[in-house]
């Protein structure tokens, strides 16, 4: 991992994510880039009166001060960039993230009715960008990610984004629990098939990371995953979005959107 991008709006939630990203960069030796978006559509009357150039300069000065402070405190390479736009936030972040290995974003859950139904900015960014996104809940302090759980719906997705996942967790020296989520019914044939898949993953990726497997039988995936995380010693939950059929995309994105609202632990979103 060489480059981490952390968008910030200078809120408490974003400040917490910046600290988390800085410690992650410190752990991995990565460069940290801070990013602020000045949205013309969201100007207050007072901001609008100042003018676009003045607002951009204020944001730039504030971000420059923050990046210097982060670099000094955490002894890492850090810089900041400001963009003024009328486009959607997630699209701008996706463009800015080109060439980065990871995006770190803070979230405090849905702030309003729109975010409740359509997802937070962090969720919409994770849904749209091809770069892994780490969503950090407001107030969650950094600790080493010693254990990562990667959960997937076994029947709907047998092509796992292991290469992308290993690129993120290997520099963290994290062990991996692959959590195969299934409906409550389970056949002997399915068990044999699953064991064969597990051995294949061990053969291909076992040299790079230590892994184990668990199976979760449930009809309520978001709730079961949340319960699993709260009752285990897992530090981060990884999920993947799907570029498959409409039904599969709706299914997986609904799980990610739900967990991004309620999770009290970091969520890593990876694309297949």
What pLDDT is stored for residue 189 in this prediction?
57
What pLDDT is stored for residue 141 in this prediction?
93
3-state secondary structure of 186: coil
Q: What percent of the chain has pLDDT over 90?
A: 42
Q: Round to whole Å and give the CA distance between 137 and 145.
A: 15
E strand map for 108-174: 133-137, 147-153
pLDDT (tens digit per residue) in 64-93: 999 999 999 999 999 999 887 766 677 788
What pLDDT is stored for residue 49 in this prediction?
40
Domains recognised in the chain with CATH numbers:
3-137 (3.40.50.620), 147-271 (3.40.50.620)
Does the global pTM surpass 0.75? yes
- Mean pLDDT, the chain, as a whole number? 81
Residue 130 confidence (pLDDT) above 90:
no
- Measuring CA to CA, how many Å separate 269 from each of 43, 160, 168, 230? 30, 13, 11, 19
Reported confidence tier of residue 35, pLDDT bands at 50, 70, 90: very high
What pLDDT is stored for residue 158 in this prediction?
57
SS (H, E, C) 225-244: HHHHHHHCCCCEEEEEECCC
């Amino acid at each position: 991992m060489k480059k981490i991008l952390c968008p910030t709006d200078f809120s408490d939630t974003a400040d917490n994510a910046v600290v988390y990203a800085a410690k992650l960069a410190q752990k991995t030796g990565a460069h940290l880039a801070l990013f602020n978006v000045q949205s013309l559509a969201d100007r207050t009357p007072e901001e609008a009166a100042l003018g676009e150039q003045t607002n951009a300069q204020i944001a730039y000065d504030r971000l420059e001060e923050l990046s210097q402070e982060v670099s000094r405190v955490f002894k890492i390479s850090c810089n900041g960039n400001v963009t003024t736009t009328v486009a959607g936030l997630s699209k701008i972040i996706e463009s800015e993230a080109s060439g980065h290995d990871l995006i770190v974003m803070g979230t405090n859950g849905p702030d309003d009715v729109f975010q409740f139904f359509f997802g937070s900015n962090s969720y919409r960014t994770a849904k749209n960008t091809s770069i892994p996104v780490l969503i950090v809940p407001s107030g969650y302090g950094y600790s080493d990610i010693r254990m990562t759980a990667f959960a997937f719906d076994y029947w709907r997705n047998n092509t796992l984004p292991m290469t992308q996942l290993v690129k993120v967790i290997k520099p963290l020296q994290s062990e991996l629990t692959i959590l195969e989520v299934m409906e409550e019914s389970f056949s002997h044939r399915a068990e044999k098939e699953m064991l064969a898949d597990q051995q294949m993953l061990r053969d291909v990726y076992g040299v790079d990371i230590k892994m184990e497997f668990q199976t979760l039988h449930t009809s309520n995936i978001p709730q079961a995953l949340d319960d699993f995380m709260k009752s285990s010693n897992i530090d981060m939950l990884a999920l993947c979005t799907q570029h498959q059929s409409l039904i599969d995309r709706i299914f997986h994105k609904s799980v990610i959107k739900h967990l991004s609202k309620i999770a009290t632990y970091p969520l890593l979103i990876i694309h297949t």
